[in-house]
Amino acid sequence: MSKDHNGLEVTIPVEWVEEADMTGFSPRSRSAPVEDGFPGAVEVPIQDISPVRRAPGIPLLSHVRTVKWLRRIQAGVPIKPIQIVPGTRPIQVYNGAHRLYTLLLTGFSHIWIVPHQV
C-alpha cells in the first residue's frame, strides 16, 4: 500500500495491513476521531503538512508502531492529535509521523494537530 505525500512516496507492506485486519478499510469521515483533552486541536488537510524526512538509514515507519496505529484506526479508537512545530508553513511535524502516515494510507484526507508546547 502506498501513497504520495507532497513528493514523498509513503509505503507500508500489504502484510502489515493484513495483520491489522485493515484490508478493504474505508474511512467514514475525512479525519479519525480525536482524543478528548486537546481543546486547541485543529483539523487540517494532510496535504498542508510537510513530508516527514528521517536521517539516512532510519526507516520512516516501524512495523510494530504502524500495526498498532492501524488497529486503533480500524477499531475507531480516538487518536491523539499530532504535534506540530508552531508557526511553520507548510506545517512541520514535531511528533506523530506514524499517526500521520497511517491515516493518509488508510484514506483519511485530514488530521488533527496541536502546537508542540516547550
pLDDT tens digits along 98-116 = 999 999 999 999 999 999 9
What is the tens place of the pLDDT at every residue in 54-79? Answer: 999 999 999 999 999 999 999 999 99
Would you kindly state where each structural domain of the chain is located, as residue ranges?
Answer: 2-115
Strand-pairing partners, residue 45, are: 110
Note whether 63 and 23 are within 8 A (CB).
no
2-115 CATH pick, 3.40.50.920, 1.10.10.60, 3.90.1530.10, 3.30.70.360: 3.90.1530.10
Considering all CA atoms of the chain, what is the largest pairwise distance in Å, rounded to the nearest integer? 40
For residue 101, give the 3-state DSSP assignment. Answer: helix
pTM: 0.93
The CA radius of gyration of the chain, in Å to the nearest whole number, is 14
